[in-house]
Structure 1
């Protein structure tokens, strides 16, 4: 005849087991939600023209460099300015700042970069600036992958 074994389970052990199982399930759900790719954080949608942020480019002028900064929204150019411009560059190339201001006014009014009208007085300077802005916009295009 088989001997019957009696197993005694205390209520305290059942409660601890249920709590640990619930915490384990909660931990698994938390890890899944943290590492699951989110639709909003993936690549920019096709409706965006640019990746928002501050984008920079450098323009070489003989012995000097001019840094150009463009601040972008997803579909608009907010700001175009020269940053860290040395006083000698300002003295040697006095048309750079006014030429950039003329271009920036057109860009702020949503004129595409290819349709910016260049003035006859500073055509070379404005062409140089437009090319630098195009370089920045190419880097910031929504289809391009941002570099860290």
Structure 2
């Protein structure tokens, strides 16, 4: 949990180009505001699996390793100390929102899925915009367009 004087930016990370852009944007914003970043990655148990099911501990460890590698590859060395890495099991949007409950800002990437696909599978970014208790910045894939800040009132 962040202290009252600590500014916290939560960023959802899944390894996609959009989430890497979101992480880089969050790092730049954290530099400007002297904030701490919580890089959050969720894991879920696959519904269909052909071979022995991994345990929750194995899935969490694999996710921690993936997040560590992603952060190391995307973030300059000087900025690594300001980043806390968090993993949790569950639906990505719910995990991100849970971690952002006390955040000052939430940053997520948007892959630009079309309307039809969003209707079928939903959108993590859309869900976060609709349910976050803090302002949300959505970074489009490959940095197209400008970030959209939607303050919560």
Larger Rg: 1
Higher relative contact order (CA 8 A, sep 6+): 2
Q: What range is the shorter-chain TM-score in?
A: under 0.3
- TM-score normalized by the length of structure 1: 0.25
Relative to its length, the structure with more strand (as a share) is 2
